[in-house]
């Protein structure tokens, strides 16, 4: 469950908020004028999100490389060897 806390309240109760995040796994959205501006999450949640983000970036990079590979002309290795042998003679 996500809790919403005003930044002004968070400033007064930061130790309590950190305790709720650390010990209870709370996720707290900090709001200024009713608009979300930041989030407090546990290190475990942060590590999981960072790992997922890295995996998504790796997937994006792999898709980009695959797209570039498809645009290039690929040659079967056996055909390449035959061509090289013919040119060597």
This prediction has a pTM of 0.66
Q: Which residues contact 45 (CB under 8 A, 6 or more apart)?
A: 25, 27
Cα 81 to Cα 44, 69, 88, 89: the distances in Å are: 52, 21, 10, 13
**39 forms bridges with which residues in the sheet?**
29
The more confident residue out of 5 and 75 is: 5
CATH no. for 2-41: 3.40.1620.10
**Interval 56-81 mean pLDDT:** 82
Long-range Cβ contact pairs of 66-69 (< 8 A, separation 24 or more): none
**Interval 17-31 mean pLDDT:** 97
Q: Are strands 27-32 and 2-6 parallel, antiparallel or unpaired?
A: parallel
Residue 21's SS3 state is helix
**Whole-number pLDDT of residue 74:** 73
Take residue 60 and report the two structure tokens written for it.
């994006």
**Whole-number pLDDT of residue 83:** 82
**Interval 56-70 mean pLDDT:** 86
């Amino acid at each position: 469950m996500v809790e919403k806390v005003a930044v002004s309240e968070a400033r007064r109760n930061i130790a309590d908020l950190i305790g709720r995040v650390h010990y209870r796994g709370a996720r707290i959205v900090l709001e200024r004028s009713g608009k979300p501006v930041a989030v407090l999450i546990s290190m475990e949640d942060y590590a999981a999100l960072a790992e997922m983000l890295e995996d998504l970036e790796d997937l994006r990079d792999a898709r980009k490389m695959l797209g570039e590979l498809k645009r290039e002309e690929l040659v079967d290795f056996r055909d390449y060897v035959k061509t090289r042998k013919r040119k060597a003679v």
